A and B are shown apart, each in its own frame.
Chain A
């Protein structure tokens, strides 16, 4: 008896090849904008870079020297830093509650649901919300850096909470049970066993949230507004990279657009740096999903 496997017909073979070709082509097509953006960022952005670009503030003059982006860099670092200080402890706190105490209770599931809802809220809405609650209501003046930081932290909170919950769930229960069996109270088990084990994962999640918040323009537009000069007072208006870029784009003058490219390259490099650290920390973690 001979095997009767019919060979694949040439039509099916051709369909297969064509379909594979199309998926490959579409995948490459998705990467075209990435390479174009990176190319323009490098070409135009590097052209704007100079020593004075990083050491001077925008002058705000209509003609002549436009100035650099020092105040924008400092402002972004301060605002995002403050937002991190607010969002990370709260986000990890929520995740700890969900994993260690709430588990599958109705309340915990409601919190999970609302965290999901928060993830989907457009960033402009957080800006608008803080604008209504803190800026229009004139709480401690009008526009201020700390208000922008709160708007960003609302954006970061669900990201931190979600990623932390995933990491905390990866910790083997045996680890928790052995701590408890050795007589440790729950709080000590959480602080001495759960958190240290989850640390790299928690750091990764927080860094990714930082990377996402750093590029956001809309929440800052309504809350921090814009100022040219360098400022470290979080109770006042402050400059930031996204707002600087947005302003320069809206003015459509060549020298300002040039500065916008330089600021954009700076911002993207900062975001990539934070994401890179996040990945490196993740690689060192022993908890792999």
Chain B
């Protein structure tokens, strides 16, 4: 190597083109994500076209007759099942998840925080199909007695009464509730940890008890984030497939009670795609069900992302710089 002229440094060895090439390749990979999602969406719309032609968009979504053997594809029972199970899952799962997040971040002794977090996260490590296996062979039969008692005692409540089936909406909702606890809890914990320490200490210094501190400092501050977490959980519950397919009974009707067998959009896709292979309209209808599911989760997730990011960036801004602790 020749000695450089005085005052200049030697140019780095290696091909000059390497830099633009690397940048180009990485940009292409990033762009392929955009193209992929675009292609995904377009393909879903194109392939579900025959279904909408056969049934009509409005009838597809709002008519209550899913009988593939007679060529009737009204997805209302599936939409109903999806909305009912995920709404019930939220009602059951979110309070538990938020309470666990509160306990872990604010109340638990420091020593047990790590282990408790780990245990709640373990719930997320159990595969969907294993939840289904456990749900149908343990949970559903065990719950039957309680469901019978509940529906005969509270038969005056709408959607309660009759004789419960073993696989039913309620069992599916309960399994979904268990499955969304880890994600809702994790995001709630994250949001609660952005609550400024001086807000909490101010509440305590004014003589608030721990619970009053939570109510006046922690909860108001993290409310947007917690609702975002619940929405993310809702997105998960809407799209969950295999566990629900196993425990919901797969009956394409709007059940009379929460203890009736039902169906969801995701479950119908998993169950019927095999028989639909030979019937283009049936296949297109399943893809249309998928499109519906996709749009549903997309809307829910975008709302969720929006409120979580807003909550977290608000948290980041309000933490005073240079405060002790």
Partners in one complex: yes
Task: Please tell me if A63 contacts chain B, counting CB pairs below 8 Å.
Answer: no
- A90 to B28 Cα, complex, angstroms: 10
A130 to B9, CA, bound (A): 53
Residues of B within 8 A of A36 (CB): 134, 138
Contacts of A161 in B (CB 8 A): 33
Q: Which of A81-95 contact B (CB under 8 A)?
A: 90, 93-94
The answer to whether the Cβ of A242 comes within 8 Å of any Cβ in the partner chain is yes
Contact of B241 among A118, A123, A267 (CB under 8 A): A123
Task: Check B211–A264 contact: CB distance below 8 A.
Answer: no
Residues in chain A near residue B25, CB distance under 8 A: 93
Contact A185 B18, beta carbon cutoff 8 Å: yes
Say if the beta carbon of B2 comes within 8 Å of chain A.
no
In contact, B30 and A111 (Cβ under 8 angstroms): yes
Q: Report which of B19, B99, B137, B211 forms a contact with A187, defined as CB distance below 8 A.
A: B19
Cα(A215)–Cα(B133), bound, Å: 13
User: At the interface, is chain A mostly helix, strand, loop or mixed?
Assistant: helix
Interface residues of A (CB under 8 A from B): 5-6, 8, 12-13, 15-16, 19-20, 22-24, 26-27, 29-31, 33-34, 36-37, 40-41, 90, 93-94, 96-98, 100-102, 107-108, 110-111, 114-125, 128-129, 131-133, 136, 154, 157, 161, 183-188, 190, 211, 214-218, 221-222, 242, 245-246, 249-250, 257, 260-261, 264, 267-268, 271-272, 275
Give the shortest distance, in Å, between B210 (CB) and chain A (any CB).
6
* A8/B207 contact (C-beta < 8 A), A101-B27, A245-B129, A264-B129 known: yes
How many B residues face the partner with a CB closer than 8 A? 88
Cα–Cα distance between A235 and B185 once the two chains are bound (Å): 41
* Chain B residues whose CB sits within 8 angstroms of the CB of A157 once the complex forms: 33
Cβ-neighbour of A31 out of B120, B128, B134 (below 8 A): B120
Chain A residues with CB under 8 A of B149: none
Give Cα distance in the complex from A100 to B44, angstroms.
34
A110 x B34 contact (CB < 8 A): yes
The 6 closest A-B pairs by CB, nearest first: A122-B239, A215-B127, A120-B301, A26-B99, A97-B26, A16-B209
A187 touches B18 (CB 8 A): yes
Contact residue among B97, B286, B298 (Cβ-Cβ distance under 8 Å from A30)? B97
